[in-house]
Amino acid sequence: METRPFRGIEGVRFLRAERLVFIRRLMLGLWLLYYLTWATWSKEAFANFVTGLGRNVIWKVFFVFFLFFLAAEIIYKFRQWYKKARVLAFVRVILPAGIFIFLTGFFLSANMRMETRILTGKDDVFTIPWSEKRFAVMNVRPGIKERFLDIEQDAPSAIFTREPLLLITDFERTYRIGAFPPARIDGTFFHILNSNIAPSIELRNQKGEIIEKGDLALQILPAGNTDFAHLINLPYRITMKLLPSGEIKRGEVLAKEYNLEDRLYEIKVYRIKNPEEAGVLIAQGNSRRPLSFDGYTLTVTGHTYWVLLEVVKDDAVYIIGAGIVLIIFGIFLRLLLLPISIHCYPKQIGRDF
């Protein structure tokens, strides 16, 4: 009669732990297979994954189960290490614990993060959806060179001489917002995504009454770009382009010079039936003199600058930060202490995590 060896309780626990490890690795392998095949070739892979993790229930359940199996594996490994070398067990668990905390923060961020984008300029007042606080824009420093040549535009630093800066107030304190790092105001992060020129216009009817007045947030720079805006409640599209103020010869190269202190725009007006169509060109000119069409008069009265703000509230970023700190600390401790421990206690160290 054939008999089977008695595994005992520890043997059963070992088999269960191995199953947890297998399931966790299988889930990771399936995700990598999806990410490197379908996700990579169908859409922007990582951005699509983050969006899906915040909206798709199946992805959420999948990720929660992955975290559960990872936590179970870490606990099991820690118990094994603790039996062999108590102090080293705490050293070795820091790295996997940091990975778990980082992934947990990543999941919470994808599901709890609130964000919006705000197009604004000098003297504007804006609010953010998750706060009752009002903000006023005191000043915009675009960081754009006032005079430049078209041949300098291949190097962005030639035009954008410094980081754009926004000065805002919540009517209690004043804050400076740049491109990086983000400015933190009451747990909300602000930073500038984009900045450019906003020509100021007035549109008058035949009686001289102002029909529309404001700043057009256009993407005019780099010089040569043409951008457009639609007039509210009127069937017109306006396109504008920055024109050179003169030409300068540098050696054998003839360069166009642009002067933002005395800027000149090419203006075209199209009559449209809907925003999607190209429309019919009905007037063109420059900003030196008013442009007339269909009984209206369009005048460029000045200019300012606009900025596009990205505003984010994400409390999970602190969990992610804690995870990163633990990962770095865990790697450092392993590189520093584990070789010494293996040399001193070669029989007490199990296989690595």
pLDDT 10s digits, 167-181: 999 999 999 999 888
At 8 the pLDDT is 45
Q: With CA atoms as reference, report the closest residue to 96 among 320, 331, 317.
A: 331
Structure tokens at 206: 């035949």
Contact status, residue 198 vs residue 215, Cβ threshold 8 Å? yes
Q: Report the length, in residues, of the chain.
A: 353
Q: With CA atoms as reference, report the closest residue to 311 among 113, 139, 91.
A: 113
Structure tokens at 194: 């984009």
Contact status, residue 98 vs residue 323, Cβ threshold 8 Å? yes
For residues 131 and 51, give the distance between their C-alpha atoms in angstroms, rounded to a whole number.
Answer: 24
- In order, the DSSP letters of 252-279 are TEEEEEEEGGG-EEEEEEEE-SSTTS--
At 7 the pLDDT is 47
Which whole-number Å values give the CA distances from 231 to 97, 167, 225, 226, 235, in the listed order? 56, 29, 20, 17, 7
At 24 the pLDDT is 73
Which whole-number Å values give the CA distances from 198 to 265, 284, 307, 330, in the listed order? 12, 19, 9, 50
For residues 111 and 60, give the distance between their C-alpha atoms in angstroms, rounded to a whole number.
Answer: 9
**Bridge partner list, 268:** 239, 284
Q: What angle do CA 124, 125, 126 make, to 5 degrees?
A: 120
At 6 the pLDDT is 43
Write the single-letter amino acid at 64. V
Contact status, residue 51 vs residue 43, Cβ threshold 8 Å? no
Contact status, residue 256 vs residue 233, Cβ threshold 8 Å? no
Q: With CA atoms as reference, report the closest residue to 105 among 320, 298, 301.
A: 320
3-class SS of residue 278: coil
Ranges of the chain whose pLDDT falls below 50: 1-12, 14-15, 348-353
Contact status, residue 118 vs residue 308, Cβ threshold 8 Å? yes
At 343 the pLDDT is 55
**Bridge partner list, 198:** 304
The pTM of the full predicted model, rounded to 2 decimals, is: 0.72
* Domain parsing of the chain, residue ranges: 9-113+315-344, 115-312
For residues 99 and 109, give the distance between their C-alpha atoms in angstroms, rounded to a whole number.
Answer: 15
For residues 244 and 13, give the distance between their C-alpha atoms in angstroms, rounded to a whole number.
Answer: 78
The helix (H) or strand (E) run that includes residue 101 is helix 86-112
At 1 the pLDDT is 45
At 285 the pLDDT is 93
- Chain centroid offset of residue 290 CA: 40
| Largest distance between two CA atoms of the chain | 112
